[in-house]
Chain A
Amino acid sequence: MTTPPAIEVKNLTVGYEDLNAVRGVSFTLPAGGRMGLVGESGSGKSMTALALMGLLPAGWEAHGEVLHDGVNLVTETDKALSSRRGRTISMVFQDPMSSLNPVRRVGDQIADVIHRHNKVSRRDAMRQAVDLMVQMNLPRPDQLARSYPHQISGGQKQRIMIAMALACYPQLIIADEPTTALDVTVQKQVLRLLNAATRERNSALLMITHDLPVIAAMCDTVAVMYAGRIVEYGPVQDVFRNPRHHYTRGLLDSQPTMDNIALDGSSRLVSIPGMVPPLQRLPSGCAFNPRCPAATEKCRTEMPELGPNGAACWHPVGAVQVVEA
């Protein structure tokens, strides 16, 4: 018997009124798998994550199927979703301050999650919370457990959030830009911990970020999102070494690397011209066409679907150009 996937998303659409921030997204994350969701800000990554968690803002609606643990999360009641959060599926947010309770000690907050979902005494929950803090490499865990969120550093808060997300051995952890607000040196420590802890528990990881190196370091597969659609999807090694969509290519080329740094500082970075379009003014056809160096008339009128090469593009990077007669 094969283990069912940690999550299977089919044709997910998320929007309010008649504007859709996510437009027909599908992907499968196998049990214990690790997928990255990457794209510029405004591309719909967070709305995808919030839809999976059942945490959409008021007025927003999700359509499609999100299969997880034998149910379709899109049609579950709020009550069923809330009993599930932290137990089978949990999330780490970019800004830990907005998701930690400012007036409750951090150790108690971890213990709350354990106590809510398991038949354990308050004391055992607290003991497990401190154990988790040890695993998170937090200094002086006994003492730190008694601190309030504002008394600890950003990197420490993010490790508390990860401890809370991991506490009940969920099948899936969604991390939305978990290290974007952290200093580079702290970022690396937090990523290491998240990496090791999810592997140990065999929790699947959906890593959301605009940072390509983070995905390269943490994930097996990647979905590249643009204007609410997945425009490229496949194994990280293939997509990053051999991008087929011009947007993926542009993101990779924009990375500052040692290869494009000149000794005298005269080097220039490649950038993608323009910006992500607002929902109210999505271009017709391929939404990337106003910024794409290879766009043709067809790109402006017909919307490409994900093809067998993993890219939704009429003229994939590296393909032989056929001149239409």
Chain B
Amino acid sequence: MSERRPLLAMQQVTQAYSLPRTALFSPPGSFTVLENIDFDVCAGEAVGLVGESGAGKTTLTRILTGMERPQSGHVLFDGTDIWSADQTQRANFRRSVQMVLQNPRSSLDPRMRVGTALLEPMRSLRIEGDHVKRLHEVLDQVGLDRSALERFPHEFSGGQLQRIAIARALMPNPRVLVADEPVSALDVSIQAQVLNLLKDLVRDLNLGLVFIAHDLSVVAYTTSRVSVIASGRIVEVGQPVELFTRPSAPQTKNLVDAVLTVESGLSGTAL
């Protein structure tokens, strides 16, 4: 078996926030949100991160994408520590790792035409080149018509808006996509369209995908390796079906038990 060569990795990351002092002379308290986290993704691989609300998923992605600097530990992109990288390496990292957020309606400016919104990352990352050609490429990749460019966000359904948000993330030609609850605001029928699209992108573009959700069945469907996070620690890592059928950590078991299915509902075992 060949050794894993992660494209994006975090090693032994710990993050704590300071709490307000309770009294003038008491020492400031602190709250550890992440503790000794190891997490990585390779090219062409979809990895999942699941955990209850407040477990630390969003904090982990903020650190993974360089939006926040960890108190200790390292974030490596292509083997280089992003916090000690030179300017060229940092610029490369910033365009190579892109995010897709939970609610496409609030992540897209309602007054901006879709075409303008898609060009936004190119402008903020100062990427030169033939952007019109690129726009058409990404629209094809996410399965949207070119007429979308002229329209405004309110003219689209939730599923279409999430495609637009994915298209925007793809514009700078990233190598890793980090998606924080990308389908939890969508209907099941539409959820499936977006999940299938993400899987196609991983395969066709050799993207690394970090997929976050609190619903284990959605993550199991989309990824090939899942980390379970609870109270800021990774408590279990494994293949989705393994975790589903033989959870070993109690926190994983909790998440598995919480998944409702039509079958468990009909047979009266769901609640």
Contacts and interface: CB of A to CB of B under 8 A. Distances in A.
Interface in A188-216: 188, 191-192, 195, 210-216
Given A257-B217, A261-B240, A269-B221, A251 B188 contact: yes
Contacts, number: 133
A261 B239 CA distance: 11
A269 B271 contact: no
A271 B192 contact: yes
Contacts of A257: 217, 261-263
A282 interface: no
A254 B254 CA distance: 24
Given A217-B270, A269-B192, A183 B53 contact: yes
A241 B263 CA distance: 9
Interface in A269-316: 269-273, 275-276
Interface string A3-40: 00000000000000000000000000000000000001
Given A41-B187, A183-B52, A216 B218 contact: no
28 contacts: A41-B187, A42-B157, A185-B52, A185-B258, A188-B257, A210-B187, A211-B260, A213-B270, A214-B260, A216-B270, A218-B265, A218-B271, A236-B266, A250-B189, A256-B220, A256-B221, A257-B262, A258-B261, A261-B220, A261-B221, A261-B240, A261-B241, A264-B224, A265-B223, A271-B189, A271-B193, A272-B189, A272-B190
Interface in B212-264: 214-218, 220-224, 239-241, 244-245, 254-255, 257-264
A265 B222 contact: yes
B199 interface: yes
Interface of A: 40-42, 183-188, 191-192, 195, 210-218, 236-237, 240-241, 250-252, 254-258, 260-261, 263-265, 267-273, 275-276
A270 B271 contact: no
Contact of B157 (A211, A256, A270, A276): A276
Contacts of B241: 258, 261, 263
B206 interface: no
B266 A240 contact: yes
